Amino acid sequence: MTGRSRRGLALLLAGVLLALVAVLAGLALGTRQIPLPTVIDALLAYDPAINDHVVVATQRIPRTLIGVVAGAALAIAGALMQGVTRNPLVDPGLLGVNAGASVAVLLAITLLHITHPAGYVWFAFVGAAAAAALAWAIGSAGADGASPAKLALTGAAVTAGLTSVVLFILSTSATALGTFRFWSVGSLTGRGLDTLALVLPAVAIGVALAALASGGLNLLALGDDTARGLGHSVRTTRALALLATVLLCGAATAAAGPLVFVGLVVPHVVRAVVGSDYRWIVVVSAPLGAALVVLADVLGRLLSEVEAGLVVAFIGAPVLLALVLRRRQVAV
């Protein structure tokens, strides 16, 4: 086993351990502190007559599991997008996923008067997928196909256009503004296991596609011409990675709202430890992304119910700035 593989395995085990600690903290800590033995008892011998058991089963388990799934999905999606674009400072929202989901949620609120997260989760997912498909269709047009530069530019253009639609709707509907602002900051509250069940199949498919694409991303890092010269299908790898990104990021955004910085910071941190092998980056990013979102949710609860998305942004911004200043580079 090489030194890089040993570092990757060590970080993976540390990430899994951290994720387990985060889950236990998510079940025990909050505005209502529940002793860990009581939490374990609620998991193994649930009694609806005990209030602490009810809190664990009906409130903390759903939001913790959604945090785990959303965090892992966004981290993997971020690793894939950074591999596709060959830029370690790219966010999975580059394809317009967050903006597309936001437009769809707003349309559900204003036209269909849907105000509960479980009600507009499918709208968010479809909007995210539609925006990414549009960016991919435009970016892949032409003889050179979906090059990293074209994908970045078309994704930015689609995001800008959809953001203007979001601002227009918000400026003309007070009802939409009141409901949308809670979703737009990224939150795990108000979601049940039914919401998780809706997005879990998409996440599972996205993870499988990410596993298939991760090895090919190592060849893409050498450049498209070199990858083709080695007999690799650049178009297939890029399509698999982008489809996985749409499924993962769309599902996470639909379930928890647009959680920023998770897909940007986590793969960047992993790369600094394990190097540029995307097989390790994709795998290790999953538990660390899950731990980040769940711990952010726990910290937000301890700070009088601050939403997880705000806490992640507060943590992620300085961490990312420190990494950039240390490495003094923005692309590989």
pLDDT digits (tens, 9 = 90+) for 101-123: 889 988 888 888 887 777 778 88
Position 213 confidence tier, pLDDT thresholds 50, 70, 90: very high
Q: Is residue 276 part of a domain?
A: yes
Summarised one tens digit per residue, pLDDT across range 290-319 is 999 999 999 998 887 788 888 988 887 787
* 135 has pLDDT over 70: yes
Q: Please name which of 135, 114, 139 lies closest in space to residue 124, comparing C-alpha atoms.
A: 114
pLDDT for 232: 79
Q: In 3-state terms, what secondary structure has residue 223? A: coil
- CB-hemisphere CA count at 13 Å for 315? 20
Residue 178 covered by a domain: no
pLDDT classification of 140: cutoffs 50, 70, 90: confident
pLDDT tens digits for range 36-55? 999 999 999 899 989 999 99
- Greater confidence (193 vs 227) lies with 193
Query: What range defines the domain where residue 213 resides?
Result: 3-90+188-327
Is residue 11 assigned to a domain?
yes
Query: Measured between alpha carbons, how far is 144 from 84 in angstroms, rounded to an integer?
Result: 15
**pLDDT given for residue 330 in this prediction:** 44
Q: How many domains does the chain have?
A: 1
Predicted confidence (pLDDT) per residue in 237-250, tens digit: 888 998 999 899 88
- Whether 144 has a pLDDT exceeding 70, the answer reads no
Give how far Cα 147 sits from Cα of 81, 139, 191, 215, Å: 12, 7, 38, 19
Q: Is the residue at 180 inside a domain?
A: no
Q: Is the pLDDT of residue 328 over 60?
A: no
What is the domain-level CATH number for residue 68? 1.10.3470.10
Q: How confident is the model at residue 332 (pLDDT cuts 50, 70, 90)?
A: very low
Cα 233 to chain centroid distance, Å, stands at 27
Q: Report yes or no on 169 lying in a domain.
A: no
Residue 136's pLDDT band (boundaries 50, 70, 90)? confident
Judge whether 171 lies within some domain. no
SS3 224: helix
Q: Please give the structure tokens belonging to residue 48.
A: 């609806």
Structural domain includes residue 230 = yes
pLDDT of residue 153: 82
pLDDT of 93 above 50: yes
Whether residue 228 lies inside any domain: the answer is yes
Tell the burial category of 328 from Cβ atoms under 10 Å away from its Cβ (0-12, 13-18, 19+): exposed
